[in-house]
Every structure is written in structure tokens, then in C-alpha cells.
Amino acid sequence: MHTVTLNAKCSPHLVQVRERIRINGQPISKDLFTKYFWQVYGRLDETKEVHGGTMPAYFRFLTILAFHIFLQEKVDLAVIEVGIGGAYDCTNIIRRPWVCGISSLGIDHTQILGDTIEKIAWQKGGIFKVCLFWIGTNKALLRAEHLGDAPLTFCLENMSNLAFFLYGKKPDYSTQVPLNPLMCFSGAVVRVLLFNATGERDSAAMLKLLVPCHFDFAVFCPNITEAVASCNADQQNFNVSVENMLTRCLDNERSWRLHSDRRDQEVLPLLIEDSLPLLTERKTDTLVFPCILSALQWITQGRDPVLTDPAQTALPVKPSISARAAPLRDAAEIHVLVTGSLHLVGGVLKHLDPEGTAALNSA
């Protein structure tokens, strides 16, 4: 039996676009992807004049491709994750799915889905056609006209990996953030935050929640794996210019400094005038790098041989930036939290696990 998963909005994929279409839990092979890609592309190109001379956008094309692969490979079961929303999402063409489900909701993609939880819930409810699973407890947000006589099951908040038509919603970072317990360190350790966020996500709100973790360095970079034109096309965003991405990084750095300054100001009124100076933690040092590789090489300071491969190309770092890395060179350990964007996580994995990436490329 073939169990197939289209991670069409696990999106983004981490390393290779083929991760989005899986057979028996594994990304489809490069040969299968190439074969079916050109079948679908050729057919759409031949018939595009009927549709105003246009081709489907990236996500829509991948959705069509996935359905084509499922049919050609005669799969028995497909788990389809929708894109943004549900009601008008391009994956929502399945007339009679076996089961549907929605995870807990948060405020995201407000320009498309609406700016309230009720409006967003209405969009999500557009996938309801058969028996339903709702991860959460707010029954008032259900889209009643889609329910009909379909049985409804409310699930616990922490349920995951359910085999149904799923919308994998990310948490609302304006109210909460899952902090890794490994963030609690002791000893001669330097703590580094490597951060980027894209789209309309509220970077400032996310960073505000990370400030209390007391990082020694806050490092920002765009989701560009390395500063060469030959880097993996699967990890390039062709919808946003490099200038725009770097501007967003500079904005994120300013947000971090602003939140850090406010936190320090909250402590000042507690100090008694003319008292002995209070020992306080050193402020977080902030830096912006042009690509992920440059950031990783600066953070690791030659400790990781994988990142010192001469085949990898990173822009040279100014001497003033190198001088600021003294705490990294002297530390017994360097602990790094990579967060904010799955594109960023994928780019980091590409550099830290080249063997795994090579295996995926050759599959």
C-alpha cells in the first residue's frame, strides 16, 4: 500500500522541493520528479491560451503536479495539506475527502484571510465536507454552513500527525513562542540567536519574546544559502529582491535593539541613586550578514570543518566584525538557536548536513 503525503504547505520545503511530494514517507526521486514535471508543464503550456496565456503560479503548479503523480503512481491514500486558508485554496478541489481537520488557529496571513480569528476560522472551515477534526476547543469559531450532518470531533491542543485533510497552522507568535529547554545553559557557553522572518509575519513580536533569553549575540541574515549565483535554486526566493531581504534583516536588528533597550529601561527605576553600581548582564551584540554561510562561518569561528570547506563561497568579513568574535573564539561551547523562518532552517541544514543533502539530491 502506498501512503502518500503532499507537504504542500509544510511549505516551505527545507532543502529540496521534492520534499513536498512524498511516497511512503520519502521524497519522490529526481527521475520521477523530472518525468512528471515535464508531462504537466508541457500539457499546461499547450493549453495556456485557453486561460489567457498564463501558467499556474508556483504553489498551484506543485499542487497540480502532486495530484498527477498520485494518480500516475496509483496511490491508495493521500494526505493533503492545504496552503493558505482553505476555502479558496488551490488544494480545495477534492470533492469527497474521507476526513477533514483543522489545527489550532492563530493570526497570520491577515491580508488574505482577514484580521480577526473569526474571519480566519471562516476561511479554514471551507475545507469541511465530511467528518471533521478540530484541534482546539473554541466551537464558536466553526463555520456552521459547512458542517451539515458531518460528525465533529474536538481534539486536544497538542495532537499532531493526524491522517486527514490538514491545515498545519503555525503558532501565533504575538502571544506565545515555544522555547527549547536546551536554552537553559550554564558554564563557559556563548549563546547565539540566528534569526530571519519573511512575509507579513510580525518579526518584532517574535523577537520581543526572545529578548529575555539573554543571548550573547543576535545574528540576522536573509534566506540566502551562500553569496554565489550557483546556490541551490530550491532555496531561492525569486519573488523578493536581495535588497528587500537585507532591508528586512536590518529592520529585525533594529527591533531587537529597541526591545533590548526597553528591557534595560524597565530595570533602571529600581536602582537607588548614588548606590553601588549593579552588576548587569552584558548587552546582546547584534550583527547582520549577507547570507547564511557567512553568518554560520562567523558564529562557529572555524570550529566546524564542514563550514570551512573551500568549495563553499562566502563574502569576506571586515576586520572590525572579526574582532567582535573574540567571545566566540574563547568559549568552551557555542549554542545556537536558529528560528523565525523554515527557509532559514533549511539553509542552515544544507550547510551543516551536506551528506544528507547530497543523498537527497541523488535520490
pLDDT tens across 133-182, in order? 666 655 555 554 455 555 666 654 443 335 223 222 233 434 436 333 33
Instruction: Give pLDDT, residue 360.
Output: 52
The grid coordinates of residue 284 equal 546582546
Which pLDDT does position 288 carry in this prediction?
A: 93
pTM over 0.85: no
| Region label for 183, one of left (φ > 0), alpha (ψ between -120 and 50) or beta (otherwise) | alpha
Q: What is the pLDDT of residues 326-357, one digit of tens each?
A: 899 888 888 999 998 888 888 888 888 776 55
> In this predicted structure, which of 54-58, 79-83, 110-114, 305-309 has the lowest mean pLDDT?
305-309
The yes-or-no verdict on residue 196 having pLDDT over 90 is yes
For 192, phi then psi, to 5°, come to -125, 135
Q: Smallest Cα–Cα separation from 146: which of 89, 103, 100, 108? A: 100
Residue 245 main-chain phi, psi, to 5 deg:
-65, -40
pLDDT score for 141: 56
Phi, psi of 49 (to 5 degrees): -60, -30
Which has the minimum average pLDDT: 29-33, 181-185, 218-222, 304-308? 181-185
Gap between the Cα atoms of 322 and 318, Å rounded: 6
Nearest CA to 91 among 105, 102, 79? Answer: 79
Comparing 109 with 56, the larger pLDDT belongs to 56
> What percentage of the chain exceeds 70 in pLDDT?
66
Q: Which of 209, 248, 247, 237 is nearest to 337 (CA)?
A: 209
Structure confidence at residue 144 (pLDDT): 46
- Which band of pLDDT confidence, cut at 50, 70 and 90, is reported for residue 270? very low
Quick one: CATH architecture of 3-168? 3-Layer(aba) Sandwich (3.40)
The per-residue pLDDT for 137 is 53
**What is d(CA 178, CA 357) in angstroms, rounded to the nearest whole number?**
27
With contact defined as beta carbons under 8 Å apart, do 197 and 218 qualify? no
Q: What is the pLDDT at residue 120?
A: 84
Which residue ranges make up each domain of the chain?
A: 3-168, 189-229+240-266+279-361
pLDDT at residue number 61:
92
* 117-123 mean pLDDT: 83
- Return all residues near 245 (Cβ < 8 A) that are at least 6 apart: 198, 222, 223, 224, 237
pLDDT tens-digit profile of 45-104? 999 888 888 898 888 999 999 999 989 988 888 888 888 878 888 888 888 888 887 777
Distance of CA 188 to the CA centre of its chain: 31
Return phi, psi of residue 174, to 5°. -75, -15
Contact yes or no for 285/253 (Cβ under 8 A): no
Most confident of 96-105, 113-122, 305-314: 113-122
**pLDDT greater at residue 336 or residue 111:** 336
Are the C-beta atoms of 200 and 109 separated by less than 8 Å? yes
**pLDDT, the chain, mean:** 74
Query: In the structure, what pLDDT confidence band is assigned to residue 189 with cuts at 50, 70 and 90?
Result: confident
- Give me 341's grid cell: 523562518
Whether the Cβ atoms of residue 311 and residue 358 lie closer than 8 Å to each other: no
- Indicate if the alpha-carbon torsion angle 185, 280, 262, 292 is positive or negative: negative
* pLDDT tens readout for residues 232-260: 555 555 566 788 888 999 999 999 999 88
Give the span between the Cα atoms of 251 and 241, in whole angstroms. Answer: 15
Residue count of the chain, please give it.
363
Confidence category of residue 323, pLDDT binned at 50, 70, 90: confident
